Structure 1
Amino acid sequence: MLLLIAGVASWWLVLARESRRVAQEESDRQTALLLREIDAHNATDAQLQRAKEAAEAANLAKSRFLTGMSHELRAPLNGILGYAQVLQRDPAMPLGRREAVEVILRSGRHLLGLIDGLLDISRIEAGKLRLERTECVFPAFLDQIVRLMRPQAEDKGLRFECVVQSRLPDIVHVDEKRLRQVLINLLSNAVKYTDSGRVRLRVRYARELMQFDVEDTGPGIPAEDLERIFLPFERSWAGERQADTGTGLGLTVCRMLTHVMGGELQVQSTVGEGSHFGLKLFLPEVRMLSGDPHVPGVVLGYRGAPRRLLVVDDQVAHRRLLRDMLEPLGFHVDEALDGEACLAAVAAQVPDLVLLDVTMPGLDGWAVRAALYARQPQLPVIMVSATVATLDAAAVAGTTRFVAKPVMLPELLLRIGQCLNVEWITEPAGELAPLQDTPATLDIVLERDDADALLELGAMGYVKGVLVKLDEIQARLPRAAPLTAHLRTLAAGFRLKEYQQVLKRHVRHAQAPE
């Protein structure tokens, strides 16, 4: 028994020693594998870090390129849009040329929106895009969209229709700029890719949910391309056949902006029949404006003593543009070509307001602004720049007095009014006198079929059809000229609500018993 016990004990000791040896070898092997894996992870991490640095450098280069390109495009646009506004206000401008100037203004504003869109892509990708929700007068907003798109559609021989399918709110809370950007892009694509037929914009509103439907009779989009068209630089087969294909970023920006605004953008299409883009957004209704952010009407001047302004800009054309904008309104405008000249001019005679460019040789605008505030703390200064990045600098500096180039006169006057507290002398912008319900006017009787046709065309928003019908009625009933002329003015101005009211009032009077 002792020998048996001694043998078992010896065998147990041998097994324990062998187990420790095997465990040590396995531990050494696993440690070596782990060290090799750590080295591989370190190498991978180093590669990822180098790739991240390269991507950040490329992104920074892209941002610098976009910022620089934006500045270079905004500078010439400042002259184009600025002098277009000056010509628009010239009372000696012939009517035909005035319409041409308005086209220049609309096209320039659209180009400015495209420039801003390039910067938006970078901001959205970086998560730095901020919505600026304000109170928007929705009927006027929709009117602007229709006025911009209808001529483009009619130039291609297309029928452009705006159909309102429900009551629309008078005022909504929305980022007006972003919503306009999305709608114009969708409608522009519909017009671009449709060769015949129509482009229709349907609008309906229910429970603070706004639905926009853009329909066309174009070539359509294959099912396999319905998601691909929202990718950057991607187009469907219909887009590849177009000579003017654009950059391939429009729908990408539209979907990104829609998601940022908390909405939904969908597309349905049938090849050979057309496409349907549906935009759904939550737009809360506002009962009344808390304050009008714009100068009402057309500014003719201001009341009170003459005010002296100092314009500081190293570009002669930009200084003269601001002078041509402001001197007809009664301001005395002095000029300075750089920061040193500005400080010298202020030391000689303190102006009421300084319009200060940001990018100048020598002292830049921020340094000049600091020097002015040190000498004249109460002197108001408005910063003017074509560099959009300056907006962020203005926010950091704690100033809201900033005007971006191209300078738009209403915004400039708004800032001047805030700084100088001036009382503007204005003229109502394009307001038409209402139709007077005189017996002579109301005695004009239209046939019931004509009245019904006019009401139906107005309800559809088909302004071109309304004008054609009015010409036909006036040719048959020359004595109806006062009524048809007023209806034509309202329809051409897309004041369809007033158009319907005037026509219904006339129909009720014509049907009233003797």
Structure 2
Amino acid sequence: MTQPTILLVDDEKANLKVLSELLKKDAHISLAISGQQAIDKSLVFRPDLILLDVVMPKMDGFETIKKLKAIKETSEIPIIFITGLNSADKEKLGLTLGAVDYIYKPFNSEVVKARVATQLKIIRQRNELQKLSQELAHASEIKSRFLANMSHEIRTPLTAVIGYAESILAGEIDEDEQYNAISIINDSGQHLLSLLNDILDISKVEADKLDVALIPTRLFKLIEEVKLLVGDKALHKGIEFNIKCQFPLPSKLITDPTRLKQILINLLNNAIKFTDQGFVDLVIKNTPPFLQFSIQDSGIGINSEDLSKLFIAFSQVNNTANSNVGGTGLGLNISKYLSEKLGGNISVLSKKGEGSCFTVKIKLKEADDSIWFKNQTDIDNAIVIPCNDAKPQKKLKGNILLAEDNKGLRTLFTLILTKLGLTVTIVEDGKQLVEAALVSEYDLIMTDIHMPNMGGVEAMNLIKLTGCETPFVALTANAMTHEITHYLDIGFSEYLSKPIQREKLVHVINHCLGINSRIDEIDIPENNLCQLKNDFLDDLSLDIKNIKNAFSHKNWQQLQFFAHGLNGSSAVFGFKEITKLAAKLENGLQTGEFPTDRLKMQLIIDNLTTTFFSLIKK
């Protein structure tokens, strides 16, 4: 325990020496020989206790205590008067001014030590009570915030469960819509279950009774299950999600698969939650005696002062800037506990605005029949993903008007929509879209946002001015939250981000057309896809030429338009490097980084050209 500090104030140096010798074993001693010096030192050192002589020249003890009590920073420091006076009135005055006790001259060493010890004990108890009070207040605040958060987290899915259940019981939902309603009830119920599991788990953590079951576990089957559970969330936000293996890695280990998945899913969900653009990577490597999982992201990062709060139960950092992200605030605390139960730990490196890296280590104990995978092919040959044939299969019905300026994407979208059973009319820009919508009626209009002649937003506004109530779906490579919110606010019913995911497409069409169908496979012949990719590569040289011309003529608006188009089309056909470069060019123009840094723009365009030539040589 840190020793207390006592300030001794007396104009007689002999008295200071005597008192110092008596008290130096129990406290740090500071000395002052006048009232003003006592005030100055108190402001600087903030002693725990002051022993103050009454009779001193210039400023006596009574005047000194008045001034100390009048200063906010020193008003709470307890003061014991030192006096040779034997006057009840003087003693009463000192106590009235705020002194806690008196020590009389000549000094009785045992009495002095006893009176000082009593005051120091009171000071320690007061400090402990203040600290406890602050901790209780903080805990109360955290738990109040947790309860308020849980109220919201529970009420939202519960409203969906009760609302849809009542509607089904009342016969308000048609039979063909009931599957969708039941799916929503199921999803909401699963969310409620996850919240309840967190709350039950934290109670077990606090009682140290959260058990693990160590059994032989297929590592990459577990990783594939994790990927299926979190991958769609990343795709929905337009975030690149990668699993990176640093070989060799064991095929099977002894661990608790349920608890390991719980840790990884929690950390990956957090990474996706706090990443609006860029990537989330899961990196797996062998670091004897541990197996290490690193979750890296390009998200908002964490303030250094918040890092210490991360693994505290009920705490949520960054909750002011991200109050919409939800959650219990228990996941990291539970994950830390579980990683230790699995023989390892969790650590974090992060910087505000520069992303985060959470590293989980668990004890690596191989199963008896484990082998070591040396490459991705070994993993692919070992994993068998079960099929689910229990879902209902229905063709969709409806007339779709599709506007897309890219020829290859028009062909691909038409193939997909036709395979789903829909009738498709295609146009190339916003002007043609307006003309088509005025001539015929459609069940759904799907339009790219950025097109020549007229964009999708302007076209939608013109069509809606005619009284058309057909739902509109925005097709865009922009998957940022604020952009999506903007599209929905200005009149679009839904959006689809490129590359378009099958399940999302079906969900959007179901929602807009008020139907309930589910298609698990869209069987597009391989030769069709191959031809579309070749057509894309044939047109790619023209796209790059347009980008180069816009750059050389300093036409930044046109350059952004071409970069945006290439970003969307290359993503759909799976050309990741082209997509990455086009996205960098588009984002730089959007944020204002370009055209200021023209050298970096030139480098990106040169890399586009190099990548193009490498593709056509294959």
TM over 0.5: no
Greater RCO structure (CA 8 Å; 6+ sep) = 1
TM-score w.r.t. length of structure 1: 0.39
Larger radius of gyration: 2
TM-score w.r.t. length of structure 2: 0.33
